[in-house]
Amino acid sequence: MDKMKKDFTPTLLDLGDVHIYLARHFGFCYGVENAIEIAYRTVEENPDKRIFLLSEMIHNPHVNDDLQQRGVRFLQDTKGNQLVPFEELTGDDIVITPAFGTTLAMEKRLLDIGIDAKRFNTTCPFVEKVWNRAEQIAKKGYSVVIHGKPAHEETRATFSHSSVNTPVVVIRNMEEAIALGKYVTGERDSSAFFEEFAGRFSTGFDPTRDLRRIGVVNQTTMLASETQAIAEHLKEAMIHHYGLTEETLADHFADTRDTLCYATNDNQSAVGGMLSTDADIAIVVGGYNSSNTSHLVELCEEKLPTYFINSADSILNRDVILHYNFHIKKELRTTPFLPTHQPAKILVTSGASCPDALVEEVIRKIAGFYQSEAGMEELTREWTME
């Protein structure tokens, strides 16, 4: 009913003593759904083949565990460390490329064994869109600045696909964008660049030469607002340094706003809409190593107590919750966590790699603490009839 996706107000589940406000947009995006569908279909259609995943299919432990139980093995962990030696692979094996994509070097390594990594490719179309846009601006003489987490599989893949065409540098956040801007304007000596951005620039990168014309793309799971702010800051640095006008801006800065992932935008905008509600706490469900989920947590944390959990099992009872602090990379135990007054008002959302069933389990568990299971069933019947 909201085809233009302009309404970001949450859905209220009025369960009497507890009010659950569910984000308007949450959970699986198209890229994740597509990747999971391809992976499970590959398993079903190839019962006599050994099947491997380059790394985690998506950053959700429940999905990855289920695939492993079906016999799928991971070749690497999320950091690129080897779990299965390549020497064990043969040309008869199947290797699935995860939703994050992979590097050109990895594609070649598999092809040398006789495995075509593109045959069972689940790379998200929006990740590929970033690669294509980076290639387009590279042909026009722009260098590429990637806003992303350097160790993340998607960022490594984007770096690989971009650096064959043009100079590339990866920045983590606005602080590093400000630092990069000072190399653009000459406020910092270019010799310091190589230490400050060590391990995050392409071979032969020359900041004096390669920061004259740039375009900004991102790891699709980053905060879209931060990517836009970073691009705006670097654009302003270009304008002031070169005295650019709207007519001459393209001489030094490429417009890449069309690379931002719609699903990331929708989920983050829905959290913004959800936070306009007068609530007590927020619960965000997703894999602890999920980048897009951690950014939803980050947004919620700005306004109210937020608990980042991976399933309903993290809620031990009415008083105790196990939740992840991604800032210090540690699981914490908090008690009590539920509001003591009634109705308790709780915001709920999930990351793009989190199955809807996990969100439902969390809501049902909370409803049980308030003896509201009947209310849940009544709402379910009403929505089914609609």
Supply the pTM of this predicted model: 0.87
Q: Are 331 and 324 in contact (CB under 8 A)?
A: yes
Characterise 252 by phi-psi region: left (phi > 0), alpha (psi -120 to 50), beta (else). alpha
- Residue 161 tokens read as 């696909």
Comparing 11-28+263-385 with 30-113, is the CATH topology the same? no
Per-residue confidence in pLDDT tens, the chain, 386 aa? 677 778 999 999 999 999 999 999 999 888 889 999 999 999 999 999 999 999 887 778 888 899 999 999 999 988 888 999 999 999 999 999 999 999 999 999 999 999 998 999 999 999 999 999 999 999 999 999 999 999 999 999 999 999 999 999 999 999 999 999 999 999 999 999 999 999 999 999 999 999 999 999 999 989 888 999 999 999 999 999 999 999 999 999 999 987 778 788 899 999 999 999 999 999 999 999 888 899 999 999 999 999 999 999 999 999 999 999 999 999 999 999 999 999 999 999 999 889 999 999 999 999 999 987 777 777 777 766 66
Domain positions in the chain are: 11-28+263-385, 30-113, 125-260
CATH 3.40.1010.20 for domain 11-28+263-385, yes or no, is yes
Active site residues: 154
DSSP 268-286: HHHHHHHTTS--SEEEEES
Count, residues in the chain: 386
Distance CA(375)–CA(342), nearest Å, equals: 16
CATH code given to domain 30-113: 3.40.50.11270
The CATH number of 125-260 is 3.40.1010.20
Please give the radius of gyration of the chain, using alpha carbons only, rounded to the nearest integer: 23
298: left (phi over 0), alpha (psi -120 to 50) or beta: alpha
